[in-house]
C-alpha cells in the first residue's frame, strides 16, 4: 500500500510513537494482483471508460472482485502476521471491513479508527460512478474499468455488489457486538458515504 495517507500514518506511529505498523493492499487493489501494461501488451479499450495517465492497467483479467475475499484478507493478516492487541485504521470500505473484523476477532481488535466509513455503500457507489448505459452493461454481467479516478483505477461489476450484501451491517437486526472504542472521522460533504450512514452505524455499536 503506497498511498500517501498510509505512508504518513506509518511514519508518525512507527517512527515517532514506536508502535508496530502493518499496511497492505486488499486483493485486486493497489499492488495486489494488479498487472501493469507493458509497452508490447495491448489493452482492451472497450472496457476502459476514460484515459488514465501513465501506465494503464490491463483489463480486469484475473480479478476476483469479491467482497468476501477482502474480509478473508484482513482476517488472515490479523491471524498470521500480527500478535497481541490491535488497533485497525480503515478508510472507506476499509472501515467497513474493520468493523467486520472486530465482530470476528473481538479478543484481538482493541480499537478502530474509521475514516469516511463506507459501510453498506457498494450499491450507492455503483450508482454514483457509472452512467445509465454503463449500469445496463454491468447488469448484463460485464466488468468495467473507471480508469481516471483520483485514487487510481477501479473495476465495477454486479458481482461485487451482490457479494457485498451478505456483509451489510445497517440491515442487521439489533446492535452490533463491537465493544472496543471506535473513533469516526468523516466529511459532512461526503456524497458516496454520507455521514448520516456513519451516525447510524455508530448508533448500532455496543461500544461507547
Distance spanning both ends of the chain, measured CA to CA: 31
Q: Which of the given ranges, 4-8, 44-48, 82-86, 121-125, has the highest pLDDT on average? A: 82-86
Can you give the length of the chain in residues? 208
- Could you tell me if 85 and 176 are in contact, meaning their C-beta atoms sit under 8 angstroms apart? no
If we measure between CA atoms, which residue out of 97, 154, 150 comes closest to residue 126? 154
CA–CA gap between residue 98 and residue 182 (Å, rounded): 10
Q: Are β-strands 154-156 and 86-91 bridged in parallel, bridged antiparallel, or unpaired?
A: unpaired
CA–CA gap between residue 67 and residue 106 (Å, rounded): 21
If we measure between CA atoms, which residue out of 120, 95, 122 comes closest to residue 109? 95
DSSP string, 80-149: HS--S-EEEEEETHHHHHHHHHHHH-TTTEEEEEEES--TT-HHHHHHHHS-HHHHHHHHTT--EEE-S-
More confident residue, 99 or 45: 99
Query: What are 65-120's pLDDT values in tens digits?
Result: 778 888 999 999 999 999 999 999 999 889 999 999 999 999 999 999 999 998 99
Those residues with Cβ within 8 angstroms of residue 174's Cβ, 6 or more apart along the chain or in another chain: none
Those residues with Cβ within 8 angstroms of residue 79's Cβ, 6 or more apart along the chain or in another chain: 105
pLDDT at 151 over 90: no
CA–CA gap between residue 60 and residue 159 (Å, rounded): 13
Spell out the domain ranges in the chain.
Answer: 4-204
Q: Give the pLDDT of residue 157.
A: 80
Q: What percent of the chain has pLDDT over 90?
A: 38
CATH class given for the domain over 4-204: alpha beta
Q: Give the pLDDT of residue 117.
A: 93
CA–CA gap between residue 82 and residue 111 (Å, rounded): 15
Amino acid at each position: 500500500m503506497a498511498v500517501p495517507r498510509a505512508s504518513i500514518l506509518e511514519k508518525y506511529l512507527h517512527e515517532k510513537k514506536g508502535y508496530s505498523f502493518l499496511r497492505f493492499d486488499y486483493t485486486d487493489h493497489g499492488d495486489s494482483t494488479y498487472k501493469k501494461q507493458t509497452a508490447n501488451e495491448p489493452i482492451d479499450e472497450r472496457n476502459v471508460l476514460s484515459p488514465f495517465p501513465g501506465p494503464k492497467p490491463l483489463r480486469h483479467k484475473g480479478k476476483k472482485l469479491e467482497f468476501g475475499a477482502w474480509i478473508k484478507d484482513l482476517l488472515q493478516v490479523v491471524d498470521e502476521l500480527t500478535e497481541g492487541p490491535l488497533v485497525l485504521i480503515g478508510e472507506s470500505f476499509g472501515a467497513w471491513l474493520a468493523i467486520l473484523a472486530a465482530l470476528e476477532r473481538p479478543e484481538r481488535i482493541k480499537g478502530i479508527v474509521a475514516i469516511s466509513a463506507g459501510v453498506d455503500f457498494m450499491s450507492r457507489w455503483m450508482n454514483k460512478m457509472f452512467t445509465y448505459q454503463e449500469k445496463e452493461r454491468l447488469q448484463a454481467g460485464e466488468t468495467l474499468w473507471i480508469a481516471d479516478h483520483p485514487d487510481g483505477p477501479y473495476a465495477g461489476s454486479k458481482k461485487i455488489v451482490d457479494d457485498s450484501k451478505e456483509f451489510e451491517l445497517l440491515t442487521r437486526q439489533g446492535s452490533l457486538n463491537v465493544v472496543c472504542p471506535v473513533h469516526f472521522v468523516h466529511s459532512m460533504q461526503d456524497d458516496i458515504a454520507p455521514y448520516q450512514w456513519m451516525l447510524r452505524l455508530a448508533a448500532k455499536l455496543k461500544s461507547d
